[in-house]
Copies of this chain bind each other. A is one copy, B any other.
């Protein structure tokens, strides 16, 4: 059970009884959201072994048809997923190896948890990934390989191709990021300098059957992007990767090892990433066991059970955090003024992942800027709360998971002589909410399906 540690304090900070009620509902709703994507819980609720049949989200695997069951994977939540999988399958698992962040303290029986570096990949990650490839290549037609993929999987499972070093890979990724390349462009390059990503794990596992269980940390759940898609066909080419480096004037600056691999790839010396029509993928079953929608729906369900009229606005929210905050405030205002989009008492849930373009020198995170920007528009009304938190418990470079604002935030700030607009302009939402004691603290939660924001209007 993941909980907001300072929930009682956050509720008490409400100025009126109605404010405290709105805060309680918003915070409990966020707690429900994050607990709905607890890796252990979600694995046990999605997987059912009855007699010899494993049921997974409508798919069926007869375990007695498989000679061996191997488990591979990586990600921040993959250790907990492995532990839960052992509880379900027990000694049906032959063996396995999953890359998890260094310092993960979990006990498993049959699946080795291999410590690797995160978020900066290093040789420890490479070693684990190489051993996964060995297992994948060992698997034969009558074997089942279960992959456990979660957020952070990309950096926890590095396997650069040829002579490319981890440092080379990091250099090109950083250069692309700085040049403003999109995540799709970066992934195109990444997949073509890897022996694992972009469908290569699936290809190496063939002809064994793959059951890929994914806890999605990417908005919209694009399977080829999550952990760079080791079991998913890639639609891009070596030529695309080269063109992207040239587009951002990075070709000449790229490490020579990378240029060699891409040039060899274009010549056909190195095979292209496996494409959608490759027979490999006939043996792959991809299942999203949890995503932002799971969390957002749980947040909504809590509010419904509390008697609110609710909508789930979206689970694919993107955009600049402060703008999203303003928009959420405008919806809160409309609920109050006209009963749209839901009549009072109303609850609106929006999930996804916003971004913050940092221009100031302060400390903060997207889930702290959302309630700050929203509070600026809430105008002293009672019983309106806007709370936002990241499901992994660590919002931006802070120790908070998010924050809560309400119609009285501005009044309380004025009393403390805080200028909210200045904190927002300085990207200093952390210190703003810290002074009001309105930061949400959970500690790291062990899961990650991005963020959930909740509006309550009583």
User: Which residues of B have CB within 8 Å of A324?
Assistant: 323, 327
When distances are taken between beta carbons in the complex, the residues of chain B under 8 Å from A330 are 314, 316-319, 352
Could you tell me if A320 and B318 are in contact, using CB atoms closer than 8 angstroms? no
Q: Which residues of B contact A333 (CB under 8 A)?
A: 220, 314, 316
Which B residues touch A337, using CB under 8 A? 293, 315-316
Q: Is A305 in the interface zone, CB < 8 Å from B?
A: no
Q: Is the interface of A mostly helix, strand, loop or mixed?
A: mixed
For residue A421, give the distance in angstroms from its CB to the closest CB of chain B: 9
Q: Is there contact, CB below 8 Å, between B293 and A338?
A: yes
Q: Which residues of B contact A340 (CB under 8 A)?
A: 311-315
Please give the distance in Å from A220's CB to the nearest CB on chain B: 7
Distance in angstroms between the alpha carbons of A187 and B352 in the assembled complex: 38
B220 touches A318 (CB 8 A): no
Most chain B Cβ neighbours within 10 Å, of A293, A330, A352: A330
For A181, the chain B residues whose CB sits under 8 A away are none
Query: Which of chain A's residues 301-339 have a Cβ closer than 8 Å to chain B?
Result: 311-320, 323-324, 326-327, 330-331, 333-334, 337-338
| Number of chain A residues close to chain B: CB under 8 A | 26
Query: Chain B's nearest CB lies how many Å from the CB of A219?
Result: 8
A173 nearest CB across to chain B (Å): 21
A341 contacts partner chain B, Cβ-Cβ < 8 Å: yes
Are A323 and B319 in contact, with the CB atoms below 8 A? Answer: yes
User: Does residue A377 face the partner (Cβ distance < 8 Å to B)?
Assistant: yes
Please report the C-alpha to C-alpha distance between residue A286 and residue B340 in the assembled complex, in whole angstroms.
24
Q: How close is A371's CB to chain B, nearest CB, in angstroms?
A: 15
Does B323 lie within 8 Å of A320, measured CB to CB? yes
| A220 closest partner in B (C-beta) | B333
Query: Per a CB cutoff under 8 Å, which of B313, B331, B334, B338 touches A334?
Result: B313
Q: Once the chains bind, are B313 and A338 in contact (CB under 8 Å)?
A: no
- Partner among B293, B318, B326 whose Cβ is within 8 Å of the Cβ of A319: B326
Compute how far the CA of A337 lies from the CA of B293 in the bound complex, rounded to whole angstroms.
10
CB distance from A420 to the nearest CB of B (A): 13
> In the bound complex, how far is the Cα of B313 from the Cα of A220, in angstroms?
22
**B317 touching A327, Cβ below 8 Å:** yes
Residue from the set A312, A326, A331, A334 with the largest chain B CB neighbour count within 10 Å = A334
On whether the beta carbons of B341 and A313 are closer than 8 Å, the reply is yes
Q: Which of B293, B338, B377 contacts A315 (CB 8 A)?
A: B338
**A357 CB to nearest B CB, Å:** 11
The closest CB in chain B to the CB of A293 belongs to: B338
With a 10 A CB-CB cut-off, give which of A293, A320, A324, A327 has the most chain B CB atoms. Answer: A327
C-alpha gap A311/B331 in the complex (Å): 11
Residues of chain A at the chain B interface (Cβ within 8 Å): 220, 293, 311-320, 323-324, 326-327, 330-331, 333-334, 337-338, 340-341, 352, 377
> What are 5 residue pairs bridging A and B, where the CB atoms are less than 8 Å apart in the complex?
A311-B311, A312-B338, A320-B320, A323-B327, A327-B327
| Nearest 4 interchain pairs by C-beta | A323-B323, A311-B341, A312-B340, A314-B334
